[in-house]
Amino acid sequence: MAVSFTTLSGAAAPYLEENVSTNVISVQKPHGHDPATADPRDELLSGLRFDESGIEHPEFVLNRPEFREAKFLIAGANFGCASSRENAVIALSNFGIRCVIAPSTGDIFFNNCFKFGVLPVILPQDEVLALAAEAMPGAPSAIFSADLEKNELVTPSGRTLAIPLPAFRRQQLLEGLNEVELTLQRASDIESFHRSAAGQQPWMYDLGIK
């Protein structure tokens, strides 16, 4: 089973840098921390949050009091690009961030989100900037909420936005399904396709190609 997602409420940390790679999002050896004893939360964006001695940069958004318990991250374009490391999504989840809002993400990062119960919300650039502006006060005055059953994202000002997600991905998150479990739910459709294909292209099946 994957991790399910239904509702979420909390502050949204605005971090609008573009082209943030998975190797930046997740640092296997957090700066200035012993990996054996480090808080799992420290892995996320460690190279930006801490100096080489493990001392926090107080000005970094996730170190500010109003965003220390952020549940949403408002990111820049192409967030989670480069390598396919699942640890990038795990680091977000370990910190407590279960929703990433961005104009775009890396394709593999986007797919990995569904394995670990993280909701990726892809919106136009101007909308992302507007949400970042609403998010700036942080907790407790600027709280976002997401309801995947209603397919809604609600901003601190009360605006409601539809969550643009393919139906099968929405189902995957709501039910906490991994790819195999999601595929098995389509077993009858797959079998019907094979029967139809065997009738239309029997030579493929005569050769034992499935």
Query: Domains in the chain and their CATH numbers?
Result: 7-177 (3.20.19.10), 178-210 (no CATH)
pLDDT value of residue 159:
98
Q: Is the pLDDT of residue 28 over 70?
A: no
Segments in the chain forming alpha helices (H): 22-25, 46-49, 87-95, 107-113, 125-135, 167-175, 179-184, 187-200, 202-206
Q: What global pTM score does this model have?
A: 0.85
Supply the pLDDT for residue 57. 96
Query: Is the model more confident about 124 or about 192?
Result: 124
Q: How many CB atoms lie within 10 A of CB 63?
A: 15
| pLDDT range class, residue 186, cuts 50, 70, 90 | low
- Report the mean per-residue pLDDT for the chain: 90
Q: Which residues, 6 or more positions from 193, have their beta carbon under 8 angstroms from its beta carbon?
A: none
Task: Name the residue type at position 205.
Answer: Y
Q: What is the mean pLDDT of residues 174-201?
A: 74
For 44-58, 82-96, 151-165, 168-182, which range has the lowest pLDDT when averaged over its residues? 168-182
Residue 206 has pLDDT above 80, yes or no: no
User: Which segment of 75-84, 120-129, 160-169, 195-204 scores lowest on mean pLDDT?
Assistant: 195-204
Residue 16: Cβ within 10 Å count: 17
> Predicted confidence band at 201 (pLDDT cuts at 50, 70, 90)?
confident
pLDDT classification of 23: cutoffs 50, 70, 90: very high
The average pLDDT across 7-23 equals 98
**Element housing 120 (H / E):** strand 119-122
